[in-house]
Structure 1
Amino acid sequence: MLMKAALIGQGQLGQELLMKLINHNHRFILECVWTPVGDSGIGGLGKHNISCVQSIEEVLNNEQIQLVFNTSYTALGEFANNADHRSARRYIHLVPELQGRGDFYGLLPELPQECAHIQLVSSAAQAIVPLVAALSQICLIQEAEVISDIPSKAADSEFRAHLDENMSATELALTGIGGALQAKSMIFLNPDEESAVNRYIVHLKLEEGVDPSAVTLLLSQAAAEISNDFPGYRLKYTPSYSGSILTFVIEVRSWSKTLSQGYGHIDLLTSSAFRAGEQWVKQQQERGLKHGD
């Protein structure tokens, strides 16, 4: 069973996700409707069974569309003002929404079964929250601080215009599914072109009496699991301790053929979205077999 999907938005996120759908659409996409919000600048879409529509409303009103990838901040307002009651449709948001609608999902093991809106939050949340959530199962995390070091040239105008939303949504994810009692997120746009790679510097204040070797082992295992799905992801150094403060660094390089390595945050988000969509279609296939559809 193949799905008819829609991709809303342009920019770096929209273009890279479109490339992933073009390169792998035979895996779960029958047809893709793209709402680029402007001139796509990409030719030959028809041969890939991808058509363009001019408005988000066209997507909302198309009964055949079962899966929607959203990379547009503008579309979040459209969805809020035009409630969609079709329970069979799944939305996957690659931009942060602070209204609390939708479960966080990314590189975590299980995809929520019944949630209509899947919120990927931010690249920082994708990179860090799975590790923080794993640690919170064995110890209390009193405070979490994440500094996103992103190459300046890899941050487009839309990302720069919504830095506050990205940081706030990351903090919500850290205290929500991450389990930290308090959280702080910062973004540093690095102008140094010699070090064009995404890094996430993490400081965690842990409860007293935690076994450092157990924490290091758990972090290493969790990072290795993520790198199986995303080869550009790695725990850069051995985690260090200063009293109750744990510090570690995650490095994310783009593994995409269409992006340079400095666009790891874009590759990570779009890969997570593609994987979430693929898993949801698989769930629908399995559900259909159980019901004899």
Structure 2
Amino acid sequence: MNVFLAELGKQLVTRWTVALMLPGALFAGAIVLAHVLGQRHAVDLQALPVWLDGVTAAPAAGRSAALLITVAAFLFGAAAAGLAAQSVGVFVAWTWSLAGSGPVLGRLAERRRRRWERADVEVAAAERAFLADPADPARRDRARRAIARRASVCLVEPERPTWIGDRLHAADVRVHRSYGLDLAAVWPRLWLVLPDEVRAELTAVQDRCAAAARLAGWGVLYVVLGAFWWPALVVGLAILLTARYRSRLGVAVYAELVESAVDLYGRDLAVQLGLSCPGRLTGETGEQVTAIVRKDGVLPRARRSGSADAPRP
């Protein structure tokens, strides 16, 4: 998760001129409408030509200078709005990594955990019913629906206050359970082993996640502007809903690609590190990889003498 958020932060900082100036110009225009129309005449578009007539009624001697100042102020406001949206987007991406600690976040995480546990009970009941009569298609469909409902909450037991945070966390947990790999420590080395086309696909998905976080930043700005011009509130809420959908979709695809990269190229990393891996990557080999890349002196569980309850590295 930490590696993903670091790359996402880089994507949010780059190529901002094209990505932010046009939306910034639209937001600057919305600020002008909020100033001219206000809440009382929020949809009275006839007030806008009156305001424009007042602006153009200035003396000819000072009209050019006033126009230049207005255009410069508009462009400056568009750029400032773009930077503000980018900053809010970075904050939104940061919230994806929050753990379920503290009074508020803890309650949110506990709520998600209770939903998952209820869904898990339904899965257990549906699986027992299916095993009692595997030939019954209705019981098979019931088990599939129960598993899908549990997966819609989280693929593993939730520990984060948000769906996105848990989806990223689930990738770490699933990779560790399957291969004994510490994904945060292994990922930079695995990245160097991946083919160019795989890295390009991952980078493209990171771009989409960054764009979704930035879109959420625009939504927040429009919601704030809604305090002075209520149509902006409607636009902001619509943008936030769209950003939520895009961010969840982007993170889900990214997490799947990360797990797929480990499935397909984790063995190559082990071989590059000098480990013997004649077949598929096993948990024992994965723990040795983790011990090598972490460099913290913690031996993998499989090489400890004795205790089977020793903590994972």
User: What TM-score, normalized by structure 1, do the two folds share?
Assistant: 0.25
User: Between Structure 1 and Structure 2, which shows a larger proportion of helix residues?
Assistant: 2
Which of the two has higher C-alpha Rg? 2
Query: Larger relative CO (CA 8 A, sep 6+): 1 or 2?
Result: 2
User: Between Structure 1 and Structure 2, which shows a larger proportion of strand residues?
Assistant: 1
User: What TM-score, normalized by structure 2, do the two folds share?
Assistant: 0.24
